[in-house]
Structure 1
Amino acid sequence: MTPGQLLSEGFELMLYGMGSVFVFLVLLVLCIRVMSRVVELLSPEQSAPARATAPAPVRSDLPDGELLAAIQMAIHQHRARRD
């Protein structure tokens, strides 16, 4: 075989391979979409969860005094050990 024939056969084989992969991926996407629609139709609708009547307490981003004191003590002990 001449190099030209080998090149054309290689190109033809590449097109068949890429074409078959493309067709497979398109069919896969279509199957997934169909299955999604079927699941949406068959699944029962979920009701919205009931909301609590009392609002959630608002938390402050600042820690309380005891927590700040504990943090400062831990930092002080860490620095004392390091020296």
Structure 2
Amino acid sequence: MNSTELLMEGVDLMLMGMGAVFTFLISLVIIVTLMSKLLGKYFPEAVPVSKPARRAQPAPDVVDSELIAVITAAVKQHRSRAS
């Protein structure tokens, strides 16, 4: 075999391999498209049911005086330590 015959055989093998890959990819695209259409037809996507929006609970108008006293004492204690 001379180099020309080897080169031609390599080109033939390359074209056969690329043709096989191209054929596989085209068939894969066709099969996936068909499966998508079949699944969409026989198993439609469920429509989500919208729930009414919950109203936010209003903040209580009354503030606990004991809580204010505890917070005030904690702030005073912290400031006395920081000085």
Other structure's SS at 1:54 match: coil
Output the aligned Cα RMSD.
1.8
Q: Name the SS of the counterpart of 2:35 in structure 1.
A: helix
Distance 1:23 1:55 in 2: 58
1:7-46 equivalences in 2 (<5 Å): 7-46=7-46
Per-residue CA distance 1:20-63 (angstroms, 9 max, x = gap): 11101110111000000000000144122222232568xxxxxx
> What code does the residue aligned with 1:30 have?
I
Q: Kindly tell me the number of residue pairs found equivalent between the two proteins.
A: 57
Structure 1 unaligned blocks of 5 or more: 58-83
Larger C-alpha radius of gyration, 1 or 2? 2
Q: Scaled by the length of structure 1, what TM-score is found? A: 0.60
The percent identity for this pair of structures is: 39
